[in-house]
Structure 1
Amino acid sequence: MDVFVLIGSFILLLVFRIPIALCLIVSALVTGLYMGFEPQAILQRMVGGLNSFSLLAIPFFILAGEIMNEGGISRRLINLANVIIGKIRGGIAMVNVLASTFFGGISGSSLADTSSLGSVLIPMMKKQGYDSDYSVSVTISSSTQGVMIPPSHNMIIYSTAAGGVSVGALFMGGLGPGILLGIGIMILTYMMAVKRNYPKGEPVKKADIPKIVLDGLLGLLTIVIIMGGILSGIFTATESAAIGTLYAFLITFFVYREIPITRMGVILQRTFKTLAMVLFLIGASSAFGWLLAILQVPAMVSETLLSISPNAAVTVLLILIILLLLGMVMDMAPLILIATPILLPVAQTAGMDPVHFGVVLILALGIGLVTPPVGSVLFVGSAIGRIPIEKASKGMLPFYAVMIVVLLMVAYIPSLSLYLPGLFDQ
């Protein structure tokens, strides 16, 4: 009955379209009172869930992404990608994918990727004769790399939910699958461009190439600073995030100089707004997860899944199906916090390393961001492309196929996620 009250009240609040964080905390409070706990106990669990040094990296990553995005980094990354692959058939679509790969390593957010790059590239693609649903599909599917390519604040959230898995290992674990996803989408865009006879890109003037490359590399150096600091052991993830943010500030306001320093107030305001939502969500999920543990829900789910088949491959497939279905109706951050303590023990029983499972979890939930009915990135892309959700979803079908294939490869070939972390641990 306790489990029914917890899960039932949560689902009921979701049906009434209450924000996820409020659903979590209200259902936790109601269940706690039903079980005889004082409300202070639930609130203490909320505060305790935020008492983690690694969480300090999140505000810095969010701030760095906001600074670089405001300072014109998206346009510079588009120009850099255009220099590299813009001349081939369907070049602007492939530029879209490569720019998302670059931008994902700075923002760590699919939503920011779609909003920033999509507002430039979708109208540009439509103007050059690309179909609107294709333009939107390329943009939103490639944006899912943002949650995989390091640094990703979603990886830090998973690290906290999983009990302290190495952030550096997660960053390196997500790099290979993120690039693999980008390559898969680029192959598909090229095949579709040839089939539909989309135009080739216009060549870049040779005199402009050095400046374009320098401007783009200066922005990408943010990733090198963060990852280099973590992997070399010189900095912790939090310290690297702070230094990367300082570098982004200097590059944006003293090198690019597209915006006045007075814009920093607006940037900080957006950062604090995002951070408040993320931290409240983490705190609420901590209280909810504490009750799940007390009620032994993870053990019940584990026993149920393992009883279906003793085969580890089948268990992994069931986990993927659960994550994809959940990703269709809930956002990524709350799902990471809710699903990790429930499914990680099952995954470990099936032989999955916590780093490997984390990468699979993030990728599966990233696909959920572009999947109806609740995919936030799908809605943003449709709004920018000015097409109905139904048309965008239909145009996404071949891209869904590629993303599912990549997900299966990452899930069943552990070395795709574990090779780089193992290489740097030696």
Structure 2
Amino acid sequence: MIDPFTLSLIIIVALSLFGASVGLAMIAGSFVYLIVAGPDSSIAAETMLQGLFNNYTLLAIPLFILAADIMNIGSLADRLLRFAQALVGRFRGGLGHVNVVSSLIFSGMSGSAVADAVGMGKIIINLMTRDGKYTKSYAAAITAATATVGPIIPPSIPMVLYAIVSDQSVGFLFAAGMLPGLLMALSMAIMNYIIARKRDFPVDDVVPVRDLPRITWKALPALMLPVILLGGIYSGVMTPTEAAAVAALYALLISVIFYRSVSLKDFYEALLGSARSTASVGVLVAGAITFNYVIAREQLPVTISDMLGQYDFTKVQFLIVVNILFLVLGMVLEGGAILLIIVPILIPSVQAMGIDLVHFGVIVVVNAMLGLITPPYGLLLFITANITDEPIGRIIRDIWPFIAALLVALMIITFVPDFVLFLPRLLGYQG
């Protein structure tokens, strides 16, 4: 007879291969486990509901999604892009640098790599490929790569998910992502400059310095969003969930009142899109909560911790193994599944090794974002391929240099914990 846990895994993998969402597959596999193993199957439903309804932090996710969708339907992206172009468009490969900077700014508002790629990505790709200045494959590749910064710079939906499974402060995790996010952006800007010199990409039209104040003024309401959001969190005025609500309301108000760029139909479409995205994340979280009950009942975290203990890993060796594991898993699993399923299994081992959980959270999220651009199932690759109608093979060819640059950044983030924890400690973190 097949072991109940093995049967559960077979069902999850089989359903996922046949096209079911990972969340639904985990719910089905967990129910089968509970029926076969003996406990009342109603435990799964109870565990799922308690996990969803007793976690206030989860409310931040749909609100950040709504804020990102509202920003995408308004003219915020256009104004931010114009601001970025005025700042860095004057350098060789300027529109590539604009791509990096605009993603960096937009990431301080959306918290989602997909929202960045879909919203800002469509505009910047069209701008880069106009008049044949850049190839479609390069524009798609750099857009996919820069979108990975979105969930590293706060706010961040993956950081919220990690906070839930690790019982860490969302505010400290947000602070920990700031410097790594800037490092990732810098690594991609350097790589873009090297490629621009090699391929002789053009220098774009220089925006006169006298126009900078006017362009900045037009973009200022949008640029104030991350200031209000993060200022509210770190001043103690708002919780991250309340800050997410304020971000959504602020994005709506400036889009409707200040920029006058959102119609009632647009707002309805944003609400509809947010509802779909929230439902998708909700199913994934519900499935993970249920399956984590199965994992806990099987004492899998303890088993993994004991197994790793036998190898007598040093902290550096352990982090190398974890990075390789997450990079490989990122090629076939979505980031949310990695955060909600794999991380809870590893947390006891991480604590036993004396690794700071906030630092580890940044490592995990950066790896999950790299998974979005690594073949064969990198979601951002498919999104940008759809935007450009470019064969995905060409995009993969052009994205490898950016993956290499991000891997260098990942190594610094992994092995220099003081770099990651500098800002959280300034804000009172004791780790």
Q: TM-score, normalised by structure 1?
A: 0.96
Q: Deviations over 1:22-65 (max 9, x none)?
A: 11100100111111122211011111111201111112211111
Query: Are residues 1:116 and 2:152 paired?
Result: no
In structure 2, the partner of 1:168 is: 171
Q: Is the CA contact (8 Å cut-off) linking 1:309 and 1:315 kept in structure 2?
A: no
Letter in 1 for 2:418: S
Counterpart pick for 2:51 among 49, 52, 69: 49
Counterpart pick for 1:263 among 255, 262, 266: 266
Counterpart pick for 1:140 among 137, 144, 158: 144
Letter in 1 for 2:151: V
Q: Deviations over 1:198-224 (max 9, x none)?
A: 100101245643332123221121111
Query: Are residues 1:194 and 2:197 paired?
Result: yes
Give the CA deviation at 1:282.
0.8
Give the CA deviation at 1:261.
3.7
**Secondary structure at 1:146 match in 2:** coil
Distance 1:121 1:27 in 2: 42
Distance 1:258 1:18 in 2: 37
Q: Is the CA contact (8 Å cut-off) linking 2:153 and 2:178 kept in structure 1?
A: yes
Q: Which stretch has the larger CA shift, 182-191 or 389-398?
A: 389-398
Counterpart pick for 1:378 among 363, 378, 381: 381
Moved over 6 A (4+): none
Unaligned runs of 5+ in 1: none
Distance 2:248 2:19 in 1: 35
Give the CA deviation at 1:412.
0.8
Q: Is the CA contact (8 Å cut-off) linking 2:72 and 2:120 kept in structure 1?
A: no
Q: Is the CA contact (8 Å cut-off) linking 1:285 and 1:337 kept in structure 2?
A: yes
Query: Are residues 1:64 and 2:40 paired?
Result: no
In structure 1, the partner of 2:32 is: 30
Unaligned runs of 5+ in 2: none
* 1:327-406 map, 5 Å: 327-406=330-409
Distance 1:143 1:395 in 2: 15
Distance 1:185 1:156 in 2: 25
Q: Is the CA contact (8 Å cut-off) linking 1:253 and 1:261 kept in structure 2?
A: no
Letter in 2 for 1:213: T
Q: Which stretch has the larger CA shift, 313-322 or 201-210?
A: 201-210
Query: Are residues 1:414 and 2:412 paired?
Result: no
Query: Are residues 1:272 and 2:252 paired?
Result: no
Assess, with a 3 A threshold, how the Cα gap between structure 1 residues 262 and 115 changes in structure 2: closer, same or farther. closer
Q: Deviations over 1:319-353 (max 9, x none)?
A: 11111111111111122100120122222222211
Q: Is the CA contact (8 Å cut-off) linking 2:188 and 2:405 kept in structure 1?
A: yes
Distance 1:68 1:111 in 2: 13
In structure 2, the partner of 1:239 is: 242
Letter in 2 for 1:291: V
Q: Is the CA contact (8 Å cut-off) linking 1:114 and 1:143 kept in structure 2?
A: yes
In structure 2, the partner of 1:225 is: 228
Give the CA deviation at 1:259.
2.1
Give the CA deviation at 1:181.
0.1
Distance 1:321 1:353 in 2: 19
In structure 1, the partner of 2:255 is: 252
Q: Is the CA contact (8 Å cut-off) linking 1:2 and 1:295 kept in structure 2?
A: no
Q: Is the CA contact (8 Å cut-off) linking 1:305 and 1:318 kept in structure 2?
A: no
Q: Is the CA contact (8 Å cut-off) linking 1:144 and 1:366 kept in structure 2?
A: yes
* 1:14-29 map, 5 Å: 14-29=16-31
Q: Is the CA contact (8 Å cut-off) linking 1:319 and 1:343 kept in structure 2?
A: no
Letter in 2 for 1:19: S
Q: Which stretch has the larger CA shift, 7-16 or 21-30?
A: 7-16
Distance 1:17 1:11 in 2: 10
Distance 2:212 2:341 in 1: 47
Q: Is the CA contact (8 Å cut-off) linking 1:298 and 1:341 kept in structure 2?
A: yes
Q: Deviations over 1:280-333 (max 9, x none)?
A: 211111000111011011122223334334222111111111111111111111
Counterpart pick for 1:158 among 156, 159, 162: 162
Letter in 2 for 1:359: V
Assess, with a 3 A threshold, how the Cα gap between structure 1 residues 346 and 250 changes in structure 2: closer, same or farther. same
**Secondary structure at 2:7 match in 1:** helix
Letter in 2 for 1:151: P
Assess, with a 3 A threshold, how the Cα gap between structure 1 residues 52 and 190 changes in structure 2: closer, same or farther. same
Q: Is the CA contact (8 Å cut-off) linking 1:316 and 1:347 kept in structure 2?
A: no
Q: Is the CA contact (8 Å cut-off) linking 1:344 and 1:357 kept in structure 2?
A: no
**Secondary structure at 1:184 match in 2:** helix
**Secondary structure at 1:145 match in 2:** coil
Distance 1:319 1:424 in 2: 28
In structure 2, the partner of 1:215 is: 218
**Secondary structure at 2:427 match in 1:** helix
Letter in 2 for 1:78: L
Query: What RMSD over aligned residues (CA atoms) do the two structures have, in Å?
Result: 1.5
